[in-house]
Amino acid sequence: MKPVTMADVARKAQVSKSTVSQYLNKRYDYMSEQTKVRVEEAISELGYQPNIVARSLKQKSTKTIGVIVANILHTFSTEVSRAIEDVCHGEDFHTIICNADDDPVKEKRYIEMLRAKQVDGLIVFPTGDNRDLYKKMLDEQYPLVFLDRSVPDIPASSIMLNNEKAIELAVDHFVQKGNERIAIMTTSFIDKVTPRYERVEGYKKALRNRNIEVNEEYIQCVDPEIIPLTLKQMLALSTPPDCIIAGNDFVLKEILRFSKQESLSIPEDLSVIGIDDVPYASFYNPSITTVAQPTFKMGKMAAELLLEKIKKKQVQDDLSEYRFEPTLMVRESVN
């Protein structure tokens, strides 16, 4: 099954390839109505579809961007990706999404693979551990936007949550309700990257502002597998926390699972606030109070910023951080 090419169309329509190309690119300026019709007919009769690979090679643009998410299993990643796709779609760009699984080696492989595929730009949730690679892209003026995280001393534009504020919202809500023994749990700490760090700092600061003493035992950054064990230990403390902030949807899930298994009542035995507004939060029993990130807005901004960089070739030094504000979704999981 030999696919039909532009040459076939040209032959059939009795014109040159150039003319067919002009037609396809809607440059009708100097084209007679007659040839237009002939080309049109030839195309539809042959069922011709242009070969985008060939076009890309010539034009040095694939109209495709790559996005490398840290971990596709997080709700956050999925929602942001959707927003990115929506924006790109509107601009006639395509999106290839890759999942680095929080692994710097995979991240590197994907960045190289996507660049080899000539994507016009990259949105990455950086692991933080490929500093040389990030730098190289920046040096080459390659269109790049970071999302969710920034990397110290790497001056790439990055779209981030106001992480301190997010934690402050949670702490405030707990305090207002009369709770002071507030724990926070996140998944293991990557210090090459900002947000987890910011969340813990934000936590300490929020407590201090309210004259609550910081208890280091209430701060846990652990591997996912040992969340249940860590919870158990924390709740067995002589003065256990009465409420807990789940640093992401994964931690939240583990807390809920643990509570169910141990027959802990939420919020009677333990109040919970999750960062990230998981899809089931509103109809869980009890419904879960969360701090929502404006995922759609963040994805949209990232895509728009990247497309802009791609278009006006010279990447401005708008290397700032774009911070987005979180929202507290008050529901039933706080006593």
Partner DNA sequence: CTGAAAGCGCTTACAG
Q: What is the DSSP code (8-state) at residue 331?
A: -
What's the Cα-to-Cα distance from 42 to each of 24, 34, 45, 73, rounded to whole Å?
A: 12, 12, 5, 47
6 touches, from DNA, a second copy, none (C-beta below 5 to 8 Å by class): DNA
Check binding of 178 to a second copy (CB under 8 A).
no
For residue 117, the minimal CB distance to DNA (Å) is 12
Residue that is written with structure tokens 């924006």 in the block: 87
Strand locations in 48-152 (E): 64-69, 94-99, 121-124, 144-147
User: What are the residues facing 321 on neighbouring strands?
Assistant: 158
Check binding of 97 to a second copy (CB under 8 A).
yes
Termini Cα distance of the chain = 68
327: part of which helix (H) or strand (E)? strand 327-329
Q: Tell me which residues in 147-186 interact with DNA (CB under 7 A).
A: none
* Residue 19 φ then ψ, to 5°: -65, -40
Check binding of 233 to DNA (CB under 7 A).
no
For residue 215, the minimal CB distance to a second copy (Å) is 28
236 touches, from DNA, a second copy, none (C-beta below 5 to 8 Å by class): none
Check binding of 63 to DNA (CB under 7 A).
no
Check binding of 92 to DNA (CB under 7 A).
no
47 touches, from DNA, a second copy, none (C-beta below 5 to 8 Å by class): a second copy
For residue 108, the minimal CB distance to DNA (Å) is 19
Q: Tell me which residues in 30-59 interact with DNA (CB under 7 A).
A: 30-32, 34-35, 48, 50-51, 54-55, 57-59
- Count the neighbouring beta carbons within 10 Å of the beta carbon of residue 323: 14
306: part of which helix (H) or strand (E)? helix 295-311
Residues within the interface to a second copy (CB under 8 A) = 1, 47, 49-54, 56-57, 62, 72, 78, 82, 85, 94, 96-97, 99, 112-113, 115-118, 136, 140-142, 253, 256-257, 260, 279-280, 282-285, 287
